[in-house]
Amino acid sequence: MMQTRLDVMVRTGLVALCCAVAIALVAPSLALTGGLPCAPIDDSSIHFQYARSLFDGHYSRYNPQDPPTSGSTSLLYPLLIAIGFAMGLKGQNIL
Protein backbone atom coordinates (compact mmCIF):
# COMPACT_ATOMS: atom_id res chain seq x y z
CA MET A 1 0.00 0.00 0.00
CA MET A 2 1.37 3.40 -0.96
CA GLN A 3 1.58 6.04 1.73
CA THR A 4 0.32 9.45 0.84
CA ARG A 5 1.94 12.63 1.96
CA LEU A 6 -0.99 13.20 4.34
CA ASP A 7 -0.44 9.78 5.97
CA VAL A 8 3.20 10.61 6.58
CA MET A 9 2.31 14.02 8.01
CA VAL A 10 -0.32 12.53 10.34
CA ARG A 11 2.07 9.83 11.53
CA THR A 12 4.84 12.39 12.08
CA GLY A 13 2.42 14.62 13.98
CA LEU A 14 1.34 11.75 16.23
CA VAL A 15 4.96 10.85 17.01
CA ALA A 16 5.71 14.50 17.79
CA LEU A 17 2.64 14.72 20.03
CA CYS A 18 3.63 11.57 21.93
CA CYS A 19 7.15 12.91 22.44
CA ALA A 20 5.82 16.26 23.65
CA VAL A 21 3.46 14.58 26.14
CA ALA A 22 6.27 12.35 27.41
CA ILE A 23 8.56 15.34 27.89
CA ALA A 24 5.78 17.31 29.61
CA LEU A 25 5.26 14.46 32.06
CA VAL A 26 8.91 13.58 32.73
CA ALA A 27 10.53 17.04 32.78
CA PRO A 28 8.84 18.32 35.98
CA SER A 29 9.74 15.11 37.79
CA LEU A 30 13.39 15.39 36.78
CA ALA A 31 13.43 19.08 37.71
CA LEU A 32 12.15 18.31 41.22
CA THR A 33 14.64 15.50 41.83
CA GLY A 34 17.71 17.22 40.45
CA GLY A 35 17.77 15.06 37.33
CA LEU A 36 17.41 11.71 39.12
CA PRO A 37 14.67 9.40 37.91
CA CYS A 38 11.95 8.67 40.43
CA ALA A 39 8.96 6.38 40.59
CA PRO A 40 5.50 7.56 41.51
CA ILE A 41 4.74 6.60 45.10
CA ASP A 42 1.26 5.08 44.74
CA ASP A 43 1.78 1.62 43.20
CA SER A 44 5.53 1.55 42.74
CA SER A 45 6.34 -0.05 46.06
CA ILE A 46 3.78 -2.77 45.34
CA HIS A 47 5.21 -3.36 41.85
CA PHE A 48 8.76 -3.51 43.24
CA GLN A 49 7.70 -6.07 45.86
CA TYR A 50 6.00 -8.26 43.24
CA ALA A 51 9.06 -7.90 40.98
CA ARG A 52 11.40 -8.92 43.80
CA SER A 53 9.23 -11.97 44.53
CA LEU A 54 9.13 -12.83 40.82
CA PHE A 55 12.91 -12.57 40.62
CA ASP A 56 13.16 -14.88 43.65
CA GLY A 57 10.95 -17.43 41.86
CA HIS A 58 7.62 -16.68 43.52
CA TYR A 59 5.29 -15.62 40.71
CA SER A 60 2.40 -13.32 41.70
CA ARG A 61 3.18 -13.40 45.42
CA TYR A 62 3.59 -10.29 47.52
CA ASN A 63 5.58 -12.27 50.09
CA PRO A 64 7.21 -15.60 49.28
CA GLN A 65 5.32 -17.46 52.03
CA ASP A 66 1.92 -16.08 50.95
CA PRO A 67 -0.35 -17.66 48.34
CA PRO A 68 -0.43 -16.08 44.85
CA THR A 69 -2.51 -12.91 44.70
CA SER A 70 -3.72 -10.42 42.12
CA GLY A 71 -2.68 -7.41 44.16
CA SER A 72 -0.56 -5.81 41.47
CA THR A 73 -2.44 -3.48 39.15
CA SER A 74 -0.03 -4.27 36.31
CA LEU A 75 1.39 -7.52 35.05
CA LEU A 76 3.96 -6.01 32.71
CA TYR A 77 5.61 -3.44 35.01
CA PRO A 78 6.72 -5.95 37.70
CA LEU A 79 8.02 -8.20 34.93
CA LEU A 80 10.14 -5.35 33.54
CA ILE A 81 11.42 -4.51 37.02
CA ALA A 82 12.23 -8.19 37.63
CA ILE A 83 14.39 -8.10 34.47
CA GLY A 84 16.27 -5.22 36.10
CA PHE A 85 16.79 -7.33 39.23
CA ALA A 86 18.03 -10.18 37.02
CA MET A 87 20.55 -7.80 35.44
CA GLY A 88 21.93 -7.01 38.89
CA LEU A 89 20.37 -3.54 39.15
CA LYS A 90 19.21 -2.27 42.53
CA GLY A 91 17.37 0.76 43.87
CA GLN A 92 17.33 3.84 41.63
CA ASN A 93 19.32 2.05 38.93
CA ILE A 94 16.27 -0.03 38.00
CA LEU A 95 14.36 3.10 37.04
pLDDT digits (tens, 9 = 90+) for 53-79: 888 888 888 888 888 887 777 888 888
Contact 83, 54 (CB under 8 A): no
Which phi-psi region, left, alpha or beta, contains residue 62 (left: φ > 0; alpha: ψ -120 to 50)?
alpha
| Rounded mean pLDDT for each run of 10 residues along the chain, 95 residues in total | 80 94 88 80 79 86 85 82 87 72
Domain ranges of the chain: 1-35, 41-94
Write down the pLDDT at residue 15. 94
Q: What is the pTM of this model?
A: 0.52
With b meaning 16 or more CB within 10 Å and e meaning fewer, what string describes 26-56?
eeeeeeeeeeeeebeeebeebbbbbbbbbee
